[in-house]
Structure 1
């Protein structure tokens, strides 16, 4: 690890094509989740053209040309205090010496603020009016945690010369505009992307992947990928799995600490021999290769990067509709995905999965359409959109402030 930069350092590439960029992410690891993989992918794409410095508390990543700075975390057990600590420490470390500061965290500083989750303000006050809204404000006023998150978020989206706000889907743009209308003009949409696999998934590669992961070589396999199993719909998926033939297995990839909360349901549904908890995988590609389809009955996703990744591997996907999942705004039911009206409806999920797993033509059609769809969302192109925003930030920061003396 490289020690943090001196706050007195001056940008070394000002006005040149190569920028010095600070990237803020508390967890910089591919096992962290979709937001972390989004940040990592952009860094990997842009490192060849710019000088990238990553500031994080957890780092499990190495890439040529990237400099890593580990930020201390003495108060990690209280998440809101740690969030304030991380925001303060990175503000001190990046105040000078960078052309652009790109934050993927709830911090008040950062020229580019990429939003991966619903705003705290939206979650607290959406569809609450009258006395319900008053009660919610009382709750906020009595909670240092909520006050800290709301205050950070308020300053994060405050209007500032050169600030840009990036969201991952059009639905999230609408939510941001309603929650923080002052930042509407600064909002851009840059969706997650993928790097298309170089090799097709042959039957041999599928068998090798299943053997590597300890999955049954025979039968069919559904893949589920998430770090928050409940929010992403695992309870409903387990109910649907119980209605499918016994040769259908389920591979669960994600935070291993979540497994204990579902042991009782797996046992009650008599699925002990059909559900395989694989934990977090640094390389998730074998899981995509091993599966026959992806199930993502999520209750809340601003985009769902996992769906796009699965489609790039040619997997048929079953995913919640646009009300619940941002990527579904871009998909067409029955053409390149099976879209659920109600992700809590186990019967509807069972029907969609059964159709894919038992009708070869349906699965093949969805697979081919999924690959074609994913090909339009490659990181190489999305990183260039991000790069244009960096130069836009520089140009805006260089303009005289309104009313400034000439």
Structure 2
């Protein structure tokens, strides 16, 4: 190759590589223990930090990563939450007005070139399906509530049409809901589903045994795993009803914030499950819980995606999950091939039947394990980060690059 050809090739390579951007990421809680939305934000930052200059603006930070700059936003009032949300929106707007190529918000804020939506819109939750006097009464309720007025106002500004603004949702089902709630922003909505980082090592019998010892779980029981911070919304009540009808050697490990444990103690007592339910609390690393388990049960009533399902599949666990009406990831799954999908997560008998199939059909269990691993391999964070990067480059400020 001649010197001129080499120079030309180097120049083409330089031009094809994306420009290094200065990106502000907004998330009130920046920690992997915060929940699915926080985990999504953290994983993207870790992937993009090698190629871009990332600045994280958060009120609670439990994360360190090379090349990432952290900015702690004050929290004068933790409650009421709506006032804190308004404060966070104002302070991050003030701090990111200048000096950034992209402002990426994972929160209900009026500013941000890229807005990632992790939950159902407030407007949809309040008004969808209501007509006549019921809708009129709901409007009265909103008018009398500073909290609801604040959330709706922030949301309206967040999804207001603006040149170059992109709105990212985590599933196609959430995209459909956004079109119903805010049809004017339909052309700006993009789907970027969460990804996964595959475990470095396969789960062996020895690793499973060690994980159970470290977590205080029975060595020989069949262990169901439930991972959530909001136990009620994610279906713990119906899971306990199903567990009571399963054999005595089936136990349940619950991972997540323990604030709702007292709400379920009476149910556990009445179903005589005290010796079969293990509350493990919030784990900074949920990996050992996946290693220790035999199955993930996720009968959620509302999940725009359901990252715990993908995480469990990456660890080779068969999963039982709600249908796409309740859980966004299920629109990508095939029941019987890579998951067991229950149509109505409120039906404990349907959930029970799915869990029993895993107990009595080893061939099905093996198929689900293989299917889960293959599915996870095709949904890794590296590819998700490339999709997010493309959105950055097509946003409003990219026109100045």
Fold match (TM-score > 0.5)? yes
Equivalent runs, 1:290-369 vs 2, <5 Å:
290-369=292-371
**Match of 1:107?**
109
Other structure's SS at 2:284 match: coil
**Match of 1:208?**
210
Query: 1:322, 1:388 → 2: CA distance?
Result: 27
Query: 1:50, 1:109 → 2: CA distance?
Result: 21
- Give the one of 109, 116, 119 matched to 1:117: 119
- Give the one of 158, 162, 182 matched to 2:160: 158
Gaps of 5+ in 1: 1-14, 400-406
Whether the 8 Å CA contact 1:113–1:165 is kept in 2: the answer is: yes
Q: Count the aligned residue pairs.
A: 385
Greater CA drift, 255-264 or 141-150 = 255-264
Whether the 8 Å CA contact 1:99–1:394 is kept in 2: the answer is: no
Query: 1:180, 1:77 → 2: CA distance?
Result: 28
CA distance change for structure 1 residues 270 and 134 in 2, over 3 Å: closer, same or farther? same
Query: 2:207, 2:331 → 1: CA distance?
Result: 32
Equivalent runs, 1:241-320 vs 2, <5 Å:
241-320=243-322
Q: TM-score, with normalisation over the residues of structure 1?
A: 0.93
CA distance change for structure 1 residues 264 and 312 in 2, over 3 Å: closer, same or farther? same
**Match of 1:64?**
66
Query: 2:370, 2:202 → 1: CA distance?
Result: 12
- Give the one of 221, 225, 231 matched to 2:227: 225
Other structure's SS at 1:249 match: strand
**Match of 2:14?**
none
CA distance change for structure 1 residues 148 and 397 in 2, over 3 Å: closer, same or farther? farther
Other structure's SS at 2:226 match: strand
Whether the 8 Å CA contact 1:161–1:396 is kept in 2: the answer is: no
Are 1:383 and 2:371 counterparts? no
| CA deviation vs aligned residue, 1:265-305 (integer Å, no higher than 9, x gap) | 11111111110000000000000010000000000010000
**Match of 2:238?**
236
Query: 2:211, 2:103 → 1: CA distance?
Result: 39
Shift of 1:16: 7.2
| CA deviation vs aligned residue, 1:35-76 (integer Å, no higher than 9, x gap) | 000000000000011110000000000101111111000011
Shift of 1:357: 2.1
Query: 2:230, 2:77 → 1: CA distance?
Result: 23
Are 1:79 and 2:81 counterparts? yes
Whether the 8 Å CA contact 2:55–2:71 is kept in 1: the answer is: yes
Gaps of 5+ in 2: 1-16
Query: 2:282, 2:324 → 1: CA distance?
Result: 27
| CA deviation vs aligned residue, 1:153-188 (integer Å, no higher than 9, x gap) | 000000111210000000000000111111111110
Shift of 1:197: 1.1
**Match of 1:189?**
191
Query: 2:100, 2:78 → 1: CA distance?
Result: 27
**Match of 1:12?**
none
Query: 2:379, 2:393 → 1: CA distance?
Result: 22
| CA deviation vs aligned residue, 1:332-363 (integer Å, no higher than 9, x gap) | 11111111111011111111111112321111
Query: 2:389, 2:396 → 1: CA distance?
Result: 11
| CA deviation vs aligned residue, 1:182-208 (integer Å, no higher than 9, x gap) | 111111000011011121111111001
Are 1:34 and 2:36 counterparts? yes
**Match of 2:146?**
144
Other structure's SS at 2:252 match: strand
Query: 2:361, 2:215 → 1: CA distance?
Result: 26
Greater CA drift, 254-263 or 119-128 = 254-263
Greater CA drift, 146-155 or 359-368 = 359-368
| CA deviation vs aligned residue, 1:2-45 (integer Å, no higher than 9, x gap) | xxxxxxxxxxxxx9711100000000011100000000000000
Whether the 8 Å CA contact 1:94–1:101 is kept in 2: the answer is: yes
Q: TM-score, with normalisation over the residues of structure 2?
A: 0.94
